[in-house]
Chain A
């Protein structure tokens, strides 16, 4: 019975998901997350999505660049975000659902600011993403 409920819920979730957002989020890995610690190169406040461009330094000093997609700025604002919530130069820790196609990017699930404050981007169906950090 529980399985049936889970199936019905999942079917419903799959059916309604596209309506929540401007596109399907199936291109992101829902089975694991990665935590990226780096310096914000740019916080782009645009629709249909906002983006955090993040430079992540490896132990050997080599810097890789990641593009992190956020929800729409409308959803971010309704979650309390402002265009000034993140600034270039901020050192942040971002938990993202990585892109499945291997490109250096992902969907923002949570970001921890330099002062320790955690910002929730309000991803639709956020509970459907498996967090590797938890």
Chain B
């Protein structure tokens, strides 16, 4: 009798554990499905009234830069504007077909694709075939262990229905809206579905060395299941920077 009671107790514990594991697994499975092709809402295509309600609040405006970096930023923006007015635009990273990097690529100039796999969320931007990998549920590396790059090191976790992503290690030459930043810049993204096929990404840039306060920009995307990302390879870039830093185009010599 005592043995059967013990057996029943063990069985009950095993059952409970199994139930707990199953519930846990179900909860794990229940993270929002954000996989698919997404297009920036209100970018290029005209908005429908139904879509307009999902536009994030207009925010950001000018980057909240500290006085010194602000001077540099203003000079750069002004120089670009004057060069454009003269018809001699300044070369940028894009002139050399360099990718935009973080967080500019999340502006989705061309459509983006989000892929959810075990322990990872991968985001691909069609232009320049930009790829970033967000590793889930693991600590961020120390900055000293991250080599500076275009996309940096990204880790993320689901907080309820929100994917919270932390990114560090973005190269100083990679600029967002022309704003300078320090090697210590930290980007926090909060991605969540505001409707089944509308995703918001609230991007906050923390960089006390250059910013007066955190700078937040929010993008909205529309899922487009009908679209498959196209390849993008800079196969023949005829634009180049001349020795004055101006963007030029190479026109082939007339054919004889």
Q: Do A and B bind each other?
A: yes
Name the CB-closest residue of A to B252: A67
Interface string of B78-114 (1 = CB under 8 A from A): 0011011101111010110100000010010110000
Q: Would you call B110 and A26 a contact (CB within 8 A)? A: no
CB of B172 closer than 8 Å to a CB of A: no
A23 to B254: give the CA distance in the assembly, Å.
25
- Return A23 CB to nearest CB of chain B, in Å: 5
Q: Does A132 contact B (CB under 8 A)?
A: no
Number of contacting residues on B, CB 8 A?
A: 36
Contacts of A99 in B (CB 8 A): 249, 251
Query: Which residues of chain B come closer than 8 Å to A18, judged between CB atoms?
Result: 80, 92, 94
Given contacts A26-B84, A29-B87, contact A48 B251 (CB under 8 A): no
**CB-based contact A19/B107 at 8 Å:** yes
Q: Residue B233 at the A interface, CB < 8 A?
A: yes
A41: which B residues are within 8 A, CB to CB?
A: 255
Report chain A residues within 8 Å CB of B49. Answer: none
A47 contacts B110, CB within 8 Å? no
Identify B97's interface contact among A22, A64, A103, A105, CB under 8 A.
A22
- Indicate with 1 or 0, residue by residue over B159-187, a CB within 8 angstroms of chain A CB atoms: 00000000000000000000000000000
Q: Using a CB–CB distance below 8 Å, which chain B residues touch chain A?
A: 44, 80-81, 83-85, 87-90, 92, 94-95, 97, 104, 107, 109-110, 126-127, 230, 232-239, 247-249, 251-252, 254-255
